[in-house]
């Protein structure tokens, strides 16, 4: 159904014969050429991706996490682990939208139509280009930890837990890999969509910030068409064994405790909001690419809560960064990471996703995991592991190696 606040532009002659993905490329080329921020994503289980292009970089700067209610502006949130000048919190207003399920037109927000329709008409009329000029971060590439360095970080984490400075902390590292010749982020995005149908697959490119690709298994805060709020406690990792059905996976005490801490953290957030009416399902074993995790789902029927419009917003502000990516207690874990981790996570383990794009009142924010940053001549990949008192540095290194494989699939 056409929305009243959108104008639909038909494709000009140069794009008339292009198929839906080629039209996506054509729009992305125009956005990159005119230095506009863009985000493409494919929701878990969805058949088609969507794209938003923001009218300008300035329009994307936001000091706060997005509001998750039907009245809030439509757009795509791209939030760092820690908000800073280098890694600003962004919200790309959905000024230009393209849904590959409806490839016949491009939608422009009525509020931006006067400025954007003439510009968009001009870029869409240009001939399609072969090479796209992706945005790269001006920051130096982060230091990639060696196995010895990562082991020292894990040992420091275990010592901090032993000394009762923290209960849980999630250490992480960056890994640098050369980009294969002719690496094409849009093709990599399509490959991630095919390979990981149950992941939230994303490609974000913002001037002065850079280009990020990912396939996340973890919902941070979701508000569905049926009026449900959903979040999850995801933790514990083991490789998917080829001949063992996931429901037969056996978990060690360490993983069970680690995941239970994340679940408890979510319950505490509900308590802070004095919310008692929620459904908890799990923990159960779920598949994420070549890995298994333990997951508990939390569902709230927004019809049954006193302030349905603000629950999503309030929960998002309490949840990020969850103990699945930071630790517990939150402040102590964040202080530990700041002091010991030794690199800038940037947008890794932040969150991202659409707000009110599919329709007002529908949002899906995911934790930015299993992701990489595309730089001019290399990719930076990120992975972390939840530590408890029993963590073993060699195993934790291997776990990060396994997690890196998810997104490294596009570098082969």
Binding site for ligand ISJ (CB under 6 A): 170, 172, 218, 234-237, 293, 324-325, 369-370, 383-386, 403
CB of 352 to ligand ISJ, least distance (A): 14
> Smallest distance, Å, CB 201 to ligand ISJ?
15
* Smaller CB separation from ligand ISJ, 211 or 238: 238
What's the CA angle centered on 228, arms 225 and 230, to 5 degrees? Answer: 115
Backbone angles phi, psi at 317, to 5 degrees: -65, -30
Say whether the peptide bond before residue 283 is cis (omega within 30 degrees of 0).
yes
- Shortest Å distance, C-beta 407 to ligand ISJ: 10
- Do residues 27 and 132 make contact, with C-beta atoms less than 8 angstroms apart? no
State the residue number with the nearest CB to ligand ISJ: 386
Helices (H) and strands (E) in the chain, counts: 9, 19
Closest separation in Å from C-beta 84 to ligand ISJ:
20
DSSP states of 259-318 = HHHHHHHHHHHHHHTT----EEEEEEEEEETTEEEEEEEEEEEGGGSS-HHHHHHHHHHH
Instruction: Between 234 and 357, name the residue whose CB sits nearer to ligand ISJ.
Output: 234
Minimum separation from the CB atom of position 231 to ligand ISJ (A): 12
**Residue number, 263 or 311, with CB nearest to ligand ISJ:** 263
* CB closer to ligand ISJ out of 377 and 401: 401
- The string of DSSP codes covering 82-103 is S--SSS--EEEE-SEEEETTST
Q: Are strands 75-79 and 90-93 parallel, antiparallel or unpaired?
A: antiparallel
- Quote the CA–CA distance of 212 and 109 in Å, as a whole number: 25
- Work out how close the CB of 141 gets to ligand ISJ at its nearest, in angstroms, rounded to a whole number: 18
Using the minimum distance from each CB to ligand ISJ, give the nearer residue, 31 or 325. 325
Scanning the structure block, which residue is given the tokens 């502006």? 73
Q: Which is nearer to ligand ISJ, 50 or 173 (CB)?
A: 173
Q: What is the H or E stretch that residue 331 is in?
A: helix 330-340
Query: Residue 56 or 388: which CB sits closer to ligand ISJ?
Result: 388
Name the minimum Å distance from CB 349 to ligand ISJ: 6
């Amino acid at each position: 159904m056409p929305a009243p606040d959108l104008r639909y532009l038909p494709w000009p002659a140069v794009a008339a014969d292009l198929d839906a993905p080629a039209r996506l490329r054509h729009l992305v080329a125009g956005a990159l050429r005119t230095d506009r921020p863009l985000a493409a994503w494919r929701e878990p289980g969805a058949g088609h991706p969507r794209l938003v292009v923001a009218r300008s970089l300035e329009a994307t700067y936001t000091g706060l996490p997005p509001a998750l209610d039907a009245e809030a502006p439509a757009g795509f949130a791209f939030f760092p682990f820690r908000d800073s000048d280098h890694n600003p919190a962004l919200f790309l207003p959905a000024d230009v939208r393209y849904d590959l399920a409806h490839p016949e037109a491009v939608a422009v927000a009525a509020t931006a139509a006067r400025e954007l329709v003439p510009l968009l008409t001009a870029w869409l009329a240009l001939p399609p280009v072969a090479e796209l000029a992706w945005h790269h971060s001006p920051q130096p590439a982060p230091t990639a930890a060696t196995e010895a360095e990562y082991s020292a970080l894990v040992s420091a984490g275990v010592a901090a837990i032993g000394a009762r400075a923290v209960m849980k902390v999630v250490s992480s590292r960056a890994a640098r890999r050369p980009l294969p010749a002719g690496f094409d982020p849009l093709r990599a995005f399509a490959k991630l969509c095919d390979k990981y149908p149950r992941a939230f697959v994303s490609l974000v490119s913002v001037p002065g910030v850079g280009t990020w690709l990912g396939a996340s298994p973890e919902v941070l805060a979701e508000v569905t068409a049926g009026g449900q709020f959903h979040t999850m406690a995801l933790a514990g990792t083991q490789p998917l064994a080829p001949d063992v059905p996931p429901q037969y996976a056996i978990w060690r005490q360490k993983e069970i405790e680690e995941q239970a801490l994340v679940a408890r953290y979510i319950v505490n957030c509900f308590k802070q909001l004095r919310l008692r009416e929620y459904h908890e399902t799990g923990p159960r074993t779920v598949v994420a690419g070549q890995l298994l995790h333990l997951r508990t789902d939390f569902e709230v029927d927004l019809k049954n809560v006193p302030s349905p419009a603000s629950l999503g917003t309030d929960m998002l502000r309490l949840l990020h960064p969850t103990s699945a990516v930071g630790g517990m207690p939150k402040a102590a874990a964040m202080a530990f990471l700041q002091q010991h981790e030794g690199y800038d996570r940037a947008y890794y383990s932040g969150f991202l996703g659409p707000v009110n794009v599919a329709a007002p009142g529908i949002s899906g924010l995911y934790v930015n995991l299993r992701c990489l940053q595309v730089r001019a001549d290399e990719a930076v990949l990120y992975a972390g592991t939840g530590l408890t008192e029993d963590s073993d540095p060699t195993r934790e290194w291997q776990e990060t190696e396994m997690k890196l494989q998810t997104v490294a699939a596009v570098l082969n």
